[in-house]
Amino acid sequence: MIFEIFAEKNENDKKVFYYDNMKNILSDDTGFVYEYPNPKTNPNAKKTIPFDKNNPLKKSKTVDTVKIQLGLSCNYSCDYCSQKFVERPTETSKKDIDSFMAMLDTLDITEETGLKVEFWGGEPLVYWKTLKPLAEAFKDKYAHWEKQKVRFSMVTNGSLLTREICSWLLYMGFNIGLSHDGPGQHVRGPDPFDDPEKKKIILEFYKIMKSLNRMSFNSMMNNKNTSRKAIYEWFVELTGDPDVNVGEGGFIDAYDEDGANSSLDSLEEHFDYRRNSFNDIFSTEGKINFGLTFQKIDSFTDSVLNHVEADYVGQKCGMDDENTIAVDLKGNIVTCQNVSVKETSKNGESHLGGNLNDYDNVELKSVTHWMNRANCKDCPVLHICKGSCMYLDGKYWDITCNNAYSDNIPLFALSIEKITQGYVPVTIKGDGLPLERQDIWGTVYEHQEREKKKVIPIKVVSEKVIVIDDVEVYSKSRVET
């Protein structure tokens, strides 16, 4: 679709641009096309293949990224956790390691391609007695590689870190993302920095890992935590490091009612968030260290100037990549690390896609490609949003889509401002684009707030019911009306 963009440098300098989101071409009203002097084509780029439950997503035997779902148990029960209401599978243990490592021989994992192994929970350190020998088994299996070694990563809430664990993670070469929302942590859940000894251990670990560029604090945006600048400043104060690396930085997806309650609701909230998001980045000239956020801006800028067409846009999470799999220690291939073999996707299909022992027949019916969504092809921020979560559907998809638009349109505007040397988009018009999406900052048109539906109070109950490796963990949450 071709969008008409009205932008301005100031009150006396306004201009009209045209953006074709399928061809990814930006031009002005004189016909001038913005592009690099010699636009480059990535010779390794692959066209994306649409999928849905009728045309399932397939996986290649050539795998370079393995996301291991150790289990969904966690010692925290955070408000907007994507796994909060997911049916818990049978717990795996270190007894499963030998058979799992043998099943990997089904795959074509080579030194030339390399291998990244991500360890996921729940909280992965709940499974410390499994995680440690499992990672060491990977290291031993591919110890003969000379050009590169297996790369390890993990996202943790940090509450179970000890000096012993930190030393091991350092030695094994892990990259660590510590999930924490800075000033908004009270909304998310408990705060490991409330414990002075734990705070000391984490900050000592951060100092070492930061020197190796192997650790970030990963924060998510929600309706009570809307300022990247405030989050950055909180972590600077915590660490004393003005170059502190803040990861993630996107607005949450609404996987359930708790996620919906943490989402942007009114038009006023959407417009406020967009304006604040733009100003947080623009006014600080980008000096707030949200790496992935700036990577999105730079990546979109480059893709426009190189005219990278929409046919090459993959999904946000990367789980549509045929060379990336999510698997548990029983060899079950699942949609992604946030689900279980027992859970049904929002489209009614199982998240279980097959098993390593029958890999040729693995197919994921639980997901929908952005090309098969109703409005993705007609969205100006497609190249930044990348279809959002590919297994959401129904009302949770609608809420997530609205969150994603308001999260990505400021990044779109920042990129256009950069490409055009100072023109900030004010409105963007396209067939079928809702008025509240056309009016980027909510400053041009009058908007009528949608009538809010009556909210029936619900009580979400989370209980610590089991112990894994001496750690008390929560069961699947339930709703009591």
Token digits for 428? 């963007």
User: What is the domain count for the chain?
Assistant: 1
Tokens of 2: 């071709």
- Rounding to the nearest 10 degrees, give the CA dihedral for residues 136, 138, 141, 142: -110
Cβ–Cβ under 8 Å, residues 86 and 40: no
- The single residue listed with the structure tokens 């000033």 is 183
* Domain annotation covers residue 262: yes
C-alpha–C-alpha distance, residues 186 and 458, integer Å: 20
* pTM for the full predicted model: 0.95
pLDDT less than 50: residues of the chain: none
Write out the two tokens for 443: 């400053």
Count Cβ atoms within 10 A of the Cβ of residue 283 and give its class: 0-12 exposed, 13-18 middle, 19 or more buried: exposed
Q: What's the CATH number where 328 sits?
A: 3.20.20.70
* 364, β-bridge pairs: 57
CB atoms within 10 A of CB 413: 26
Nearest to 178 by CA among 161, 197, 162: 161
Query: How far is residue 145 CA from its own chain's centroid?
Result: 31
Residue 66 lies in a domain: yes
Instruction: Decide if 318 is inside a domain.
Output: yes
Q: Which of 320, 445, 273, 389 is nearest to 59 (CA)?
A: 320
Question: Residue 138 and residue 301: Cα distance in Å, rounded?
Answer: 38
How many CB atoms are located within 10 Å of the residue 238 CB?
17
Distance CA 350, CA 347 (A): 9
Say which amino acid occupies 59.
K
DSSP single-letter state for residue 228:
H
Angle (CA) 438 441 447, round 5°: 65
pLDDT given at position 286? 78
Q: Is 339 helix (H, G, I), strand (E, B) or coil?
A: coil
**278 Cα distance to chain centroid:** 20
Radius of gyration of the chain (CA): 23
Domain-located, residue 126: yes
Q: What is the pLDDT of residue 88?
A: 84
48 with 311: CB under 8 angstroms?
Answer: yes
Q: Is residue 391 part of a domain?
A: no
Note whether residue 207 is domain-resident.
Answer: yes
Q: Is residue 454 part of a domain?
A: no
Phi/psi class of residue 354: alpha, beta or left (left: φ > 0; alpha: ψ in -120 to 50)?
left
Question: Does residue 327 fall inside a structural domain?
Answer: yes
- Rounded to the nearest 5 percent, the helix, strand and coil shares of the chain are 35, 20, 45
Helix (H) or strand (E) holding 120: strand 116-120
CA distances (Å), 464 to each of 26, 76, 87, in order? 54, 9, 15
> In the numeric block, which tokens belong to residue 239?
């660490």
Q: What is the predicted pLDDT for the residue at 453? A: 57
Buried b (16+ CB within 10 A) or exposed e, 5-21: bbbeeeeeeeeebebeb
Q: Is 442 left (phi over 0), alpha (psi -120 to 50) or beta?
A: left
Q: How many CB atoms lie within 10 A of CB 42?
A: 10
Count the neighbouring beta carbons within 10 Å of the beta carbon of residue 124. Answer: 23
In whole angstroms, give the CA distance from residue 405 to residue 78: 24
Q: For residue 340, what are the contacts with CB-CB under 8 A and spacing of at least 6?
A: 69, 72, 86, 87, 88, 89, 328, 334, 351
pLDDT of residue 115: 98
Q: Which domain covers residue 133, as residue numbers?
A: 57-368
Residue 384 to residue 6: CA distance in whole angstroms: 20
Name the strand (E) or helix (H) holding 253. Answer: none
